[in-house]
Amino acid sequence: MLLKYFIQSYGAILTDPKYKWPINEKIVVNYYHYSWYLDKAIQYFEENTCLKFQRSYHYILYGHGIHITYSYSDGCYVDHYGRKENNVANRIFLNAHCAYDVTKIQALILQVLGLLPEQNRIDRDQYVHIDKDNAFPDRLSYFNVNSNLNTSTYGTIYDYGSSMQDGGHAYSKNGHEVIKAINNHSKYYQKMMGQKYMIGFYEYKLLNLHYCNHSCAGKSKPECWWSGYQNPNQCGKCLCPFPLRGDICRDLPPNKNIYLQQHYILYFSYEMFEVRSAHYVYWFLEAPGNYRVMISVGYLSLYNYSPCATKTDMLEFKYKKDKGVMGLCFCGYNYEAYEFESEDRLVIGIYRGDYFGNYIQFWAKAIK
C-alpha cells in the first residue's frame, strides 16, 4: 500500500512489536541526492530522540533499513507504516514537492517509524468532526478511528497545530471541508490545521515514549516543567516544548528588545500589551494563587499565513494546562476583540514579527 504524503500526519504510534525498529541498532538510510535536507532531517531526530541513523550509499537489497528515491508522481509517500517484516527495507519516495523541505522529509520518516494520523486517534471525535458527505467515497477508510489494541497516544493530548493534523480539505471531493474543528475557538483551530512548518513537540515525545523509555535507566530524572521530558542523550537535562528552554524548561528565550519585560504578574484589571515592527517577544503572563488568565486580542496587522501556526509573523498564546501543544495562533488582520480564558494560572505569549508594518495589541488580566 502506498501512503500519500498530503494526507499523512501523525498523532498515535503503532505498538505491535513487529513494526518497531530495534533501538540497539542504527537505522540504515540509503540516499544519494538531497543530502543537506536529508542530513538535517536525520540530525533533528538524533537530537530529540534516542534513535540513531547510518547513511548508506548502497541500495538495500536485503535487510531492514530505509531506501529513499526520487519519484515523478504527484505525491510524496512511503510504502509502509512502521518497520517492514521479513528483512525487507522500507521505501520513501520524494518528488519536487518535498525533496527540498526538511519538515516534509521528517514527516515521511515519522511514518516509517510507526506514527499515524492525528485525526484517526481514538479520542478524535472530541476534537474534530469528519464530514463524510464532502469526502471521496473511496477515501473514507482513511478516516477510520485507530484501535487501542495496536496503537497508543501514550497519554499525549490532541493538538490541532501539530504536524499530526491534516488540513480541513484533506480528500475533499467538492472543495468543502472534511475535517472540522469543534468546541471552543474552532474558528482559529480550523485555520491552524494542516501546518507543515515544523515537527511538533509531541511527535518527538511520542517517539521517545515508544522507543527511549530505557535510555536513561539507572540515572536520576530531572524535574521537567511544562510538559518537557528527559533528554535521552543528556539524561540530566530536559527537552522542552517551544519556546521553553533551559535544563528543566523554566526559561524563555531573551527578548531582543531589552525594554520589553518578560514576566508579568497580572491583577484583576486589564493590562495592555502592544508591539510594533519586527521583534521576537516572549511573555510569561501569570495570575496569582489559583486564579486564571483572561486574554483579549485586539487589533493585529500580520501576514495572513494559511495554515496559521507557529512560524514567523504570528501571535500565539499557550493557554492550556499542557504547554506541549501548540497554542492558539493568530495571523493576518484582526479588528474585533476576541476573548478567551486559560486552563491554569499561566499563559505563554509568543509574538514573532518580521516586518516593519507588523503590529499586535492585546490585554491580559487575572480572573477567578
Report the predicted TM-score, pTM, of the whole model to 2 decimal places.
0.92
The model's confidence at residue 74, banded by pLDDT at 50, 70 and 90, is: confident
Q: Which of 174, 137, 7, 168 is nearest to 74 (CA)?
A: 7
- Pinpoint the alpha helices (H) of 96-155: 102-112
CA distance 37 to 51: 18
Grid cell at residue 125: 471525535
pLDDT at residue 258 is higher than 80: no
The cell for 332 is 493576518
> Do 157 and 321 touch, CB atoms closer than 8 A?
no
pLDDT in tens, 158-202: 999 888 789 999 999 999 999 999 999 999 999 999 999 999 999
- CA distance readout (Å), 365 to 147, 261, 285: 43, 16, 9
Written as nine digits, the cell of 53 is 541513523
Percent of the chain with pLDDT over 70: 97
Question: Can you give the pLDDT at residue 116?
Answer: 87
Q: What is the pLDDT of residues 2-23, one digit of tens each?
A: 344 333 334 689 999 999 999 9
Nearest by Cα to 103 from 199, 216, 201, 238: 199
The pair phi, psi for residue 196, each rounded to 5°, is -130, 35
Task: At 231, list the grid cell.
Answer: 533528554
- d(CA 293, CA 278) in angstroms, rounded, equals 26
Please report, to the nearest 10 degrees, the dihedral formed by the alpha carbons of residues 124, 103, 109, 199 taken in order.
-40
**Percentage, residues of the chain above pLDDT 90:** 86
Query: How far is Cα 42 from Cα 52, in angstroms, rounded to an integer?
Result: 8
Q: What would you measure as the largest C-alpha separation in the chain, in angstroms?
A: 68
pLDDT surpasses 60 at 46: yes
The per-residue pLDDT for range 309-344, each reduced to its tens digit, is 998 899 999 999 999 999 999 999 999 999 999 999
Residues 6 or more apart whose Cβ sits within 8 Å of residue 120:
11, 12, 142, 143, 144, 145, 146
Q: How much is the CA Rg of the chain, to the nearest whole Å?
A: 21
Task: Tell me the average pLDDT of the chain.
Answer: 93
pLDDT of residue 281: 96
Sheet with 151-152: list strands edge to edge. Answer: 115-116, 12-14, 151-152
Residues 6+ apart with CB under 8 A from 149: none
Residue 264, burial from CB neighbour count under 10 angstroms (0-12, 13-18, 19+): middle
Phi and psi angles of residue 88, each rounded to the nearest 5 degrees, phi first: -115, 135
Position 1 confidence tier, pLDDT thresholds 50, 70, 90? very low
Q: Looking at residue 279, what is its pLDDT?
A: 92
pLDDT value at residue 7: 33
Question: Cα 295 vs. chain centroid, distance in angstroms?
Answer: 23
Give tens-digit pLDDT for 116-170: 889 999 999 999 999 999 999 999 999 999 998 999 999 999 999 888 789 999 9
Residue 34: is its pLDDT beyond 90? Answer: no
Quick one: pLDDT at residue 10? 40
Give the number of other CB atoms < 10 A from CB of residue 261. 11
Contacts 24+ apart (CB under 8 A), 42-46: 42/109, 44/102, 44/106, 44/199, 45/106, 45/109, 45/207, 46/233
Pairwise CA distance, residues 233 & 245, whole Å: 16
Residue 259's pLDDT band (cuts 50, 70, 90): confident
Amino acid at 63: G
Q: What cell was used for 221?
A: 530524572
pLDDT tens for residues 269-288? 999 999 999 999 999 999 99
Q: Helix, strand or coil for residue 42?
A: helix
Of 5, 125, 7, give the one whose Cα is nearest residue 71. Answer: 5
Instruction: Report pLDDT digits (tens) over 85-114.
Output: 999 999 999 999 899 999 999 999 999 999
Q: How does pLDDT run across 218-227, given as a tens digit for each residue?
A: 999 999 999 9
CA distance 281 to 258: 10
